[in-house]
Amino acid sequence: MDIYKAICLDLDGTVYRGSEAIPEAIDFISSLQKNGIEPYFVTNNSSMTADQFSLKLSRMGIHTKNDRIMTSAIASANYCKEHFDGASVMMIGEQGLKDALTMEGFELTATQPDVVVVGIDRGITYKKLSEASLAIREGAHFIATNGDKAFPTERGLVPGNGSFIKLLETTTDKTAIYIGKPEPHMLHFIQQQGYRKEEMIMIGDNYDTDIQAGIRFGIDTIHVEGGVTNAKTVLKQLQQPTYLFENLNDWNKKGPQ
């Protein structure tokens, strides 16, 4: 465990499934914390605030600080701060994105924005999409918190933020700047807290987002079974994760000592 100082964990499918904790992940995180390592939690979910994620994790017995939670909303706000500081922002999204943008000092506007940032919005309307489309056509920068086309619910897969992004891209003939996994922006912002890439590792159940984010950023990765992508599918990929685990108990069996 001394090799890795920034252990980055996906949430849904890796630490928990919906509202149910994954026992091996809970044990793994507890072991890390006993050894003085506070992991990072990295999620494409832009709807919730860091406070809300901290509360959800605490109910599962995981206690962490807000600065260890990196959401696509927080990363989008950080990206805007780096590239468009002082800009006015039109937002489609929920509380997590609103809080992230306002905490970085952005003025939210419904008209003539410099930047349009789009995250998952379960109250989406034709009017919201129309206003965003018009603003992008008029020259506003176009930011997507993430490109997940669907996300799982108790009833099955429903439209994700990526579905609305594709609609806006089709309407505007503009391509969004994607922030969430598999893009490496969230890992970049974590690295800025003082890590070398060889000290970082990305752990997740989804090859196309979690593992690809780590590969693109140039850090080690662990694919964990039991989530979105099964091991058989992973083994067919041209780019392989550094480690392939059945569950996080394998860290002590296969992981670096």
Which pLDDT tens digit goes with each residue over 31-74? 999 989 999 999 999 999 999 999 999 999 999 999 999 999 99
Dihedral sign from CA coordinates of 204, 209, 213, 216 = positive
Residue 179 confidence (pLDDT): 97
E strands within 97-251? 107-108, 115-118, 141-144, 150-153, 156-159, 177-178, 200-204, 220-224, 243-245
Q: Give residue-wise pLDDT tens across range 148-194.
A: 888 766 677 788 899 999 999 999 999 999 999 999 999 999 999 99
Catalytic residue at 173? no
d(CA 54, CA 40): 12
d(CA 24, CA 217): 26
Residue range 1-22: average pLDDT? 88
Q: Supply angle C-alpha 140, 145, 166, rounded to 5.
A: 70
Asked whether residue 174 falls in the same domain as residue 185, the answer is no
Asked whether residue 166 falls in the same domain as residue 185, the answer is no
Assess if residue 212 is contained within a domain: yes
Assess if residue 132 is contained within a domain: yes
Asked whether residue 26 falls in the same domain as residue 97, the answer is no
Task: List CB contacts of 168: < 8 A, sequence separation 6 or more.
Answer: 118, 129, 132, 133, 136, 142, 174, 176
State what percent of residues in the chain have pLDDT above 90.
80
Mean pLDDT (the chain) is 92
Asked whether residue 98 falls in the same domain as residue 170, the answer is yes
DSSP letters spanning 110-146: SSS-SEEEE---TT--HHHHHHHHHHHHTT-EEEES-
Q: Which domain holds residue 229?
A: 6-44+181-254
Catalytic residue at 12? yes
Assess if residue 223 is contained within a domain: yes
Asked whether residue 174 falls in the same domain as residue 191, the answer is no
Q: Please identify which of the residues 10, 99, 121, 220 carries the catalytic annotation.
A: 10
Assess if residue 125 is contained within a domain: yes
Tell me which of 119, 152, 178 is where a domain ends: 178
Residue 38 confidence (pLDDT): 95
Tell me which of 178, 202, 226 is where a domain ends: 178
Q: Give residue-wise pLDDT tens across range 14-28.
A: 999 888 899 999 999
Is 205 annotated as a binding-site member?
yes
Closest CA to 69 of 38, 95, 99, 94: 38
Assess if residue 77 is contained within a domain: no
Asked whether residue 103 falls in the same domain as residue 138, the answer is yes
Residue 150 confidence (pLDDT): 80
Assess if residue 146 is contained within a domain: yes
Residue range 109-128: average pLDDT? 96
Token output for 78: 């950080």
Is 208 annotated as a binding-site member?
no
Is 93 within 8 Å of 118 (Cβ atoms)?
Answer: yes
Asked whether residue 140 falls in the same domain as residue 166, the answer is yes
Q: Could you give phi then psi for residue 243, rounded to 5 degrees? A: -135, 150
Residue 256 confidence (pLDDT): 46
Asked whether residue 160 falls in the same domain as residue 240, the answer is no
d(CA 71, CA 59): 19
Asked whether residue 152 falls in the same domain as residue 185, the answer is no
Residue 184 confidence (pLDDT): 95
Of 250 and 200, more confident? 200
Is 51 annotated as a binding-site member?
no
Is 246 within 8 Å of 234 (Cβ atoms)?
Answer: no
Tell me which of 135, 151, 178 is where a domain ends: 178
Residue 257 confidence (pLDDT): 39
Assess if residue 130 is contained within a domain: yes
Task: List CB contacts of 212: < 8 A, sequence separation 6 or more.
Answer: 181, 182, 239
Assess if residue 111 is contained within a domain: yes
Q: What CATH code is carried by the domain that includes residue 148?
A: 3.40.50.1000
Asked whether residue 39 falls in the same domain as residue 92, the answer is no
Asked whether residue 189 falls in the same domain as residue 247, the answer is yes
Residue range 80-100: average pLDDT? 96
Asked whether residue 213 falls in the same domain as residue 189, the answer is yes
Cis peptide before 113 (omega within 30 of 0): no
The model carries a pTM of: 0.92
pLDDT band for position 1 (cuts 50, 70, 90): low
In which element (H, E) is residue 185 found?
helix 185-191
Residue 131 confidence (pLDDT): 97
Of 226 and 104, more confident? 104
Residue range 102-131: average pLDDT? 96
- If one counts the domains in the chain, the total is 2
Is 11 within 8 Å of 180 (Cβ atoms)?
Answer: no
pLDDT exceeds cutoff 60 at 255: no
Residue 152 confidence (pLDDT): 66
pLDDT band for position 229 (cuts 50, 70, 90): confident
